[in-house]
Amino acid sequence: MAPPKFRKDSRSGSSKGGRFGSGSGKPGPGKPHSRNAGPGKPGAAKGGAPKGAKHGRPPGKPAYPKEKLNRAPGKHPRPEYAQDKPNRAPGKHPRPEYAKDKHSRPAGKPAYVKHSRPVTKPYNPGPEARPQRSEHGARPARQENWLYGLHAVQAALANPRRKLGRVVLTPRVLQLIDAELLDGMKVETMELGAIDRLLPPGAVHQGAALEAAPLPQVDLDGLLAAPSDGRRRVVLVLDQLSDPHNVGAILRSAAAFGVLAVVVQDRHAPPQSGALAKAASGALDTVPYVEVVNITRALEKLAEHGFWRIALAGDGDQTLAAAIPDGDVALVMGSEGDGIRRLVRENCDVAASIPIEGVMESLNVSNAAAIALYELRRS
């Protein structure tokens, strides 16, 4: 019968037989048992080997050698034993904390480079991702160059001072617009969803959109020097009103009450966008929209042409009805938050108010403009 195979016990230097490694438990010659020091072993004491000699390691050594804790070849080592191999696999960017010697740096800069990735070129979309030309060869206009809304589009088509581009209508709206306004223009018919994609989000276009350049500048001196029809001339001066919906509503009231012009400061006024034209409901193309550099200088010009300048404010010295003269009037209105600026108010002849109940502090500026214009026309 062949002798049984033996294997080395992981806890000692003895060899044991049997299925589970159990044997006689007797140490062989020159190989003392793990719990009993053999003869001649230095430091042997009663009760077992010296402290630190358990599990087959010499005293002062760690329980598990570092070299046996690494993973399989090709894998990243464990962080606690990877002090000598901090970098990642070839082709990867080094870790920032170990990139001290990989990047040159000027004096006074941190030891490691925060961004170790190479600088890439800016994104340049291919021809298929760029805006495509329309049927008649023009590229799509920017969203701020679109006018939308049925009345705004009709007024722009009827204005000879406008430079027009594409006209986009739904089949239903195409039947509503006067054919003479579309004479000589190539009209594109689209569904509502296709027009939505041309315009800013939330634009209420009513199935009509028009690509148009901003109106040319209006000369205030030339406008004031033109002969009048005998009626009282009224000019609205808006001091730093920036909301396109409020300014558009004021333009609409100005067109209804026959205002000569609406004067705004170019740096603090809304641009001639689709939102402004839609709120004005076509008045942007019927009432001169004068953009000036300095409101104070514009008030001086109005005074030179005989206009009585009224600053409309909640703390006015008198009511608007009492402040209205017999001649031409320039009505100055400020923003809802800050009101009329001090220097602008000082260049007015009088400050007047609209009497309201004390339960409300003030009126919306577009509503106040409509009431004031009615009072001016009524008196």
| Phi then psi dihedrals of residue 342, to 5 deg | -60, -45
Coil/strand/helix, residue 242: coil
Give me the mean pLDDT over the 165-174 stretch.
Answer: 93
Q: Which of 18-22, 62-66, 157-161 has the lowest mean pLDDT?
A: 18-22
Amino acid 140: pLDDT: 45
| Confidence bin at 126 (pLDDT 50/70/90) | very low
Tokens encoding 255 = 């067109």
Tokens encoding 100 = 């001290």
Q: Which of 86-90, 330-334, 342-346 has the lowest mean pLDDT?
A: 86-90
Q: What distance in Å separates the CA atoms of residue 325 and residue 322, rounded to the nearest whole number?
A: 8
Strands across the sheet with 318-319, in order? 289-292, 261-265, 234-239, 329-334, 308-312, 350-353, 318-319
Condensed to tens digits (0 to 9), the pLDDT of residues 34-91 reads: 444 445 444 444 444 455 444 556 666 665 555 555 556 665 655 554 455 555 566 6
Q: Indicate the helix (H) or strand (E) that contains 371.
A: helix 365-378
Q: What is the DSSP letter of 335?
A: B
Average pLDDT, the chain: 77
Give me the mean pLDDT over the 195-208 stretch.
Answer: 92
Please name every residue paired with 208 in a beta bridge, in sequence order, or none if there are none: 169
Identify which has the larger pLDDT, 257 or 2. Answer: 257
Tokens encoding 347 = 């260049």
Amino acid 115: pLDDT: 47
**Angle (nearest 5°) at CA 143 between 140 and 147:** 100
How does strand 308-312 pair with strand 289-292? Answer: unpaired
Q: What distance in Å separates the CA atoms of residue 247 and residue 108, rounded to the nearest whole number?
A: 55
Tokens encoding 344 = 């602008």
| Confidence bin at 108 (pLDDT 50/70/90) | low
Q: Which residues of 71-84 are buried (b: 16+ CB within 10 A; e: fewer)?
A: eeeeeeeeeeeeee
Give me the mean pLDDT over the 162-184 stretch.
Answer: 91
| Confidence bin at 92 (pLDDT 50/70/90) | low
| Residue 136: pLDDT over 50 | no
Give me the mean pLDDT over the 102-107 stretch.
Answer: 57
Amino acid 248: pLDDT: 96
Give me the mean pLDDT over the 183-205 stretch.
Answer: 91
Q: Which string of DSSP letters, residue by residue, matches 27-53?
A: PBTTB--TTS--TT-TT-BTTBSPTT-
Query: What structural domains does the chain harbor?
Result: 139-212 (3.30.1330.30), 220-378 (3.40.1280.10)
Q: What distance in Å separates the CA atoms of residue 16 and residue 33, rounded to the nearest whole number?
A: 11
Tell me the whole-structure pTM to 2 decimals: 0.62
Coil/strand/helix, residue 153: helix
Q: What distance in Å separates the CA atoms of residue 194 and residue 258, rounded to the nearest whole number?
A: 37
Q: Which string of DSSP letters, residue by residue, matches 64-98?
A: S-GGGTS-STTSPPPGGG-TT--S-STTSPPPGGG
Tokens encoding 108 = 């006074």
Amino acid 52: pLDDT: 46
Report the length, in residues, of the chain: 379
| Residue 310: pLDDT over 80 | yes
Torsion of CA 117, 123, 127, 132, to 10 degrees: 150
Amino acid symbol at 258: G
How does strand 146-148 pair with strand 208-212? Answer: antiparallel
| Phi then psi dihedrals of residue 109, to 5 deg | -90, 160
Looking at the chain, the whole-number percentage of residues with pLDDT higher than 70 is: 62
Q: What is the DSSP letter of 264?
A: E
Condensed to tens digits (0 to 9), the pLDDT of residues 275-286 reads: 999 999 999 999
Helix axes 365-378, 244-256, angle to 10 degrees: 10
Amino acid 298: pLDDT: 96
Whether 177 contacts 143, CB under 8 Å: no
| Residue 209: pLDDT over 90 | yes
Q: What distance in Å separates the CA atoms of residue 274 and residue 212, rounded to the nearest whole number?
A: 10
Whether 284 contacts 154, CB under 8 Å: no
| Cα→Cα distances 49→28, 36, 42, 116, Å | 16, 6, 10, 54
Q: What distance in Å separates the CA atoms of residue 107 and residue 363, rounded to the nearest whole number?
A: 63
| Residue 239: pLDDT over 80 | yes
Q: What distance in Å separates the CA atoms of residue 285 and residue 277, rounded to the nearest whole number?
A: 8
